[in-house]
Structure 1
Amino acid sequence: MSHRIQDIPENDRPRERLLRLGPQALSDAELLALFINTGTKGENALQIGERLLREHRSLRDLSRMEPVALTSIKALGPAKAAKLAAAFEIGRRASREAAPRDIFLNTPQNVYEFAGPEMQALSYESVRLVLLTTKLTLMRMDEVFRGTLNECNASPRELLRKALAHNAHAIILLHNHPSGDPTPSDADRRATRRLRDAAATMDILLQDHVIIGSPSESRPTPFYSFREHGMI
């Protein structure tokens, strides 16, 4: 392959292919090339995109890198790294942007579809509290802690005060396992029981505790629902 995008036939260049066929027709490397824009000596933007995917395995893994870490990648630098980080963040925000209708979170599958894509992209464990109406539609979702539940020092009553402050009918505890395996730890189970018992004393429904993982061939369901497993 030539070291210059300009030497690729015009109809085969990423930008022209996107405008002609739509973004869904482009490969991951071609999409990256549009943000990288210019190459370096020995590599054009498309080749750089292909190398990033080889070195970092997937777009998901690349998107989980901190912006400062992106700047250390050969051929990126601060400007290109900032563009890539901004593109990944736009995708995350779009995935969680509320639709103009009520968002029903009455099933673990609905919870996963709402929050899964964003939380799967995180390289750290994020604990979130989801507040629900009487119809189990979304009121708000707040990150309450970063780190494992075993390290979390927020008591159940402190979490429930947030629900009381917003007059929420029900809550969902939600966190991710960056390893991809959503199997609950002993700390996850203890935290669920404590929150369930405390919620009952405040007449607030603990609708579920959902752990977000990642899909794999051996794991077709990329989440774990404590309600589905009879623990709530």
Structure 2
Amino acid sequence: MGIGEWPEGERPREKLIAMGSQALSDAELLAIFLRTGVRGRSAVDLSRDLLMNFGGLRPLLEAGREQFCSAHGLGDAKYVQLQAALELSRRHLETLLVRGDVLNSSQTVRRYLSAQLRDAGHEIFAALFLDSQHRVLRFEKLFTGTLDSAAVYPREVVKQALAVGAGAVIFAHNHPSGVAEPSDADRRITTRLTEALGLFDIRVLDHFIVGDGEVLSFAERGLL
């Protein structure tokens, strides 16, 4: 039976319109994206198969082109559409940050940093440079490293902050291991950066560690 023959309240599109996107399962949301199934399998059936084969929604969304396109029912067109949708989501989060005081948008900051850093296979150290009213001036990926470390140079961070006229900074880096717990090195570099920027009256508001499903805040942990 095709989706068009299902009761109206069970069809993904109609369900979304009636109840909102949050009411849909991963398979139902994916089915709307796919639009059509394959011979003998509805879009929802195909979505369930894909989620099972990839091991969940996140591995599917993070799959490279070759792996993604090799799955039954997918291809270059779907891969391009998906990458465009993911980039639109990242840019939407960025526009939300730019609108106002990031200190009043802590969850948006977390989602944005997670979208930017979570999926990298190596460590990236980044900064949100803010003006004196805590509005976003620029997001910069400053340093990259190996799987478990990144070389961070306070002089370069100060240079970037002064160049954009920052009054405050929020730092962030990812842990490719997925464990969002600060290491001794994380604590030391945060202290060094705070001291270096403090010489120029630039405040460090927070340092986030992006893990797998968790974004840890130094400020909330009392580490700043």
Q: Same fold (TM over 0.5)?
A: yes
SS at match of 1:207: strand
1: CA distance, partners of 2:165 / 2:147: 25
1:150–1:187: 8 Å Cα contact kept in structure 2? Answer: no
Match for residue 36 of structure 2? 38
Match for residue 17 of structure 1? 15
Q: How many residues align?
A: 220
CA deviation after TM superposition for structure 1 residue 228, in Å: 4.1
Q: 2:165 aligns with which of 159, 164, 167?
A: 167
2: CA distance, partners of 1:27 / 1:149: 33
SS at match of 2:96: coil
SS at match of 2:139: strand
- C-alpha distance after superposition, 1:128-186 (max 9, x if no partner): 11112223333222222344596434511111111101111121211233444210123
CA deviation after TM superposition for structure 1 residue 83, in Å: 2.1
2: CA distance, partners of 1:195 / 1:167: 17
- C-alpha distance after superposition, 1:4-49 (max 9, x if no partner): 4344345533233334444343322112112212222342211111
Match for residue 119 of structure 2? 123
2:12–2:29: 8 Å Cα contact kept in structure 1? Answer: yes
Match for residue 154 of structure 2? 156
2: CA distance, partners of 1:147 / 1:68: 25
1:130–1:141: 8 Å Cα contact kept in structure 2? Answer: yes
% identity of equivalent residues: 40
CA RMSD of aligned residues (A): 2.9
Unaligned runs of 5+ in 2: none
Q: Calculate the TM-score normalised by the size of structure 1.
A: 0.78
Alignment of structure 1 residues 37-76 onto 2, 5 Å: 37-76=35-74
Match for residue 103 of structure 2? 105
CA deviation after TM superposition for structure 1 residue 76, in Å: 0.7
User: Structure 1's 140 and 149: CA in aligned 2 closer, same or farther, altered over 3 A?
Assistant: farther
2: CA distance, partners of 1:173 / 1:136: 14
Is 1:226 aligned to 2:218, yes or no?
yes
- C-alpha distance after superposition, 1:50-99 (max 9, x if no partner): 12222334333332333443212222111122223322332333233226
User: Structure 1's 159 and 225: CA in aligned 2 closer, same or farther, altered over 3 A?
Assistant: same
Unaligned runs of 5+ in 1: 216-221
Q: Which has the higher helix share?
A: 2
